[in-house]
């Protein structure tokens, strides 16, 4: 029961922060609908089983223990704000993720960073994570990589409030993807 309520609290906190950031980014409906698949049985129960006290993704632990995660396979295939949703091994260059999903992706990554880091979160946290764990490891379109790198760099310098708004993010997106 402790894992059940702990995981539920973590998911709801993540969704709440994504929603608030999505309002700033001008996509409140995307924020409201964000990660609804986390409440499906396949995602929810695996996450409860591998719950890590809200400090680490239970799906990462599932992959470490089992070598795969049914929840992650389910999640990434249903949520367009994940880079992995857009991956196509038959393409020479991965597609450019549409703007609204890039905005949701930014909100999602910042929220995950805020939730998992807790009181240790700083405006540099997501950039550090992006640079060390994702930027050069994910198979993505280079234009999207550059967009995310610039956004997280700006957040590390100016903070979320100055960077996460639709007009500014549209300029950065158009600079790299337009």
pLDDT over threshold 90, residue 108? yes
Q: How confident is the model at residue 31 (pLDDT cuts 50, 70, 90)?
A: very high
For position 56, what pLDDT does the model report? 86
Q: How confident is the model at residue 47 (pLDDT cuts 50, 70, 90)?
A: very high
For 66-101, write each residue's pLDDT tens digit.
999 999 999 999 999 999 999 999 999 999 999 999
Q: If you average pLDDT over residues 17-29, what whole number do you get?
A: 98
Query: CB of 96 within 8 A of CB of 80?
Result: no
106/89 Cα distance (integer angstroms) = 24
148/135 Cα distance (integer angstroms) = 9
What are the CA-CA distances from residue 121 to residues 86, 113, 139 (Å)? 29, 7, 27
SS3 17: helix
pLDDT over threshold 90, residue 55? no
Q: How confident is the model at residue 40 (pLDDT cuts 50, 70, 90)?
A: very high
Question: Any idea what DSSP says for residue 120?
Answer: G
pLDDT over threshold 90, residue 17? yes
pLDDT-wise least confident of 51-55, 129-133, 172-176? 51-55
Query: CB of 103 within 8 A of CB of 25?
Result: yes
For position 54, what pLDDT does the model report? 86
Structure tokens at 21: 């950031």
What value does the mean pLDDT of the chain take? 96
Q: If you average pLDDT over residues 30-35, what whole number do you get?
A: 97
């Amino acid at each position: 029961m402790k894992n059940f309520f702990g995981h539920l609290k973590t998911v709801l906190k993540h969704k709440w922060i994504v929603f608030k950031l999505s309002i700033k980014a001008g996509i409140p409906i995307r924020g409201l609908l964000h990660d609804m698949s986390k409440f499906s049985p396949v995602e929810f129960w695996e996450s409860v089983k591998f719950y890590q006290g809200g400090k680490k993704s239970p799906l990462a632990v599932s992959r470490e223990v089992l070598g795969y995660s049914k929840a992650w396979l389910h999640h990434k295939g249903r949520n367009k704000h994940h880079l992995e949703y857009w991956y196509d091994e038959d393409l020479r260059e991965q597609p450019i993720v549409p703007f609204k999903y890039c905005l949701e992706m930014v909100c999602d990554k910042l929220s995950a960073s805020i939730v998992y880091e807790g009181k240790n979160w700083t405006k540099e946290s997501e950039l550090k994570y992006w640079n060390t764990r994702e930027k050069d490891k994910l198979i993505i379109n280079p234009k999207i990589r550059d967009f995310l790198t610039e956004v997280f760099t700006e957040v590390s310098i100016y903070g979320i409030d100055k960077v996460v708004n639709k007009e500014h993010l549209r300029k950065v997106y158009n600079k790299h993807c337009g």
